[in-house]
Amino acid sequence: MYRFVLKRLLLMIPIVVGVSFLIFTILNFIPGDPGSNLLGPGALQVDIDALNEELGYNKPFLQRYLLYMYNAVVHFDLGTSYATKKPVFDEIMGRLPVSLKVAFNAILFSLVFGIPLGVLSAVKQNSLVDRVSTGTALLLASQPGFLIGMILMLIFSLKLRWFPATGAASWKSYVMPMIALGLPYGGRQLRFTRSSMLETIRQDYVRTARAKGANERIAIWRHAMKNALMPVITVAGTSFGILIGGAIATETLFGLPGLGSFIVAGIKQKDIPVVTGGIIIFALIFSFVILAVDLSYAFVDPRIKAKYAGGGKR
């Protein structure tokens, strides 16, 4: 079992390398050199050149990349922000908790809202509850987070004054972002849970349970649920990627000082180190989430668990 985990962790390395290389390459095309950006417009060319030399700007591309990676992995040094002149790593780490809070809240919200309703809709298929839930989920799932966010802002912040519109003052600032980000995601969860449940309820083993004398409640809760929810968790995890995208817009909208809005600002200011570092960190987190979901599947589904623990057919 541990070999499996180890193997997957090792497989992450080429992906991490690949991602960082890709981002580094793409962002290499942004015009501007670190020297002039860090020293500002009034600096002397001599100083600029000296700084560039020191930062290794004039070295060939591949060397710069390797230098960057070395600094990142060994010294946790992701460069210095052109705009704030502070180490990128510190800036990122300072802002990451906000982003993670937003994303985590949103996932929680969506699971709490999407899964139970999805199960209910499946069990009471074609009832009023089902139709309303599915219709609403369909509508919500197709909307972008920032749109829902703005509507929420309009109603609850500006008109009703329940929550602050922007900033990260207190827990209240996180409520609307959670709902804005969580609703579309939750809609998707609901629909997927519903279809997974519907399919599971049709399975032969549920019929076997009934034939043994189980009532509907047991047949569905004990037999159908566990099987139905496994793919739901996987989808939830892989949809996390979409969530990150939405989180960036939500942070920007609600003025939360998270990593997403930081990267956006960085792009507008052509702050290459910030953008490079930020995107790479985000991509890393994303990969780890996927890995975690994969691994959890292996722990939860006995078929997969057995495959790696060595319990074969006899």
Question: Under the criterion CB under 8 A, does residue 310 sit at the interface with other proteins?
Answer: no
Sole binder of other proteins in the list 33, 90, 294, 301 (CB under 8 A): 301
Looking at the Cβ atoms of 175 and 214, the one nearer to other proteins is: 214
Sole binder of other proteins in the list 10, 29, 75, 128 (CB under 8 A): 29
Distances (CA, A) of 185 to 31, 238, 247, 276, 307: 37, 12, 11, 27, 32
Question: Under the criterion CB under 8 A, does residue 168 sit at the interface with other proteins?
Answer: no
* Dist. CA 144–CA 140, nearest whole Å: 9
* Dist. CA 48–CA 122, nearest whole Å: 65
Sole binder of other proteins in the list 227, 235, 294, 296 (CB under 8 A): 227
Q: Which two tokens stand for residue 88?
A: 């990128």
Looking at the Cβ atoms of 1 and 138, the one nearer to other proteins is: 138
Question: Under the criterion CB under 8 A, does residue 303 sit at the interface with other proteins?
Answer: yes
Contact 52, 38 (CB under 8 A): no
Contact 271, 7 (CB under 8 A): no
Q: Which three-class secondary structure state does DSSP give residue 151? A: helix
Query: What character string, x for contact with other proteins (CB under 8 A) and - otherwise, covers 115-144?
Result: -----------------------xx-xxxx
Looking at the Cβ atoms of 43 and 304, the one nearer to other proteins is: 304
Which parts of 243-282 interact with other proteins (CB under 8 A)?
244-246, 248-249, 252-253, 263-264, 267-268, 270, 275, 279, 282
* Residue whose structure tokens are 């919200």: 109
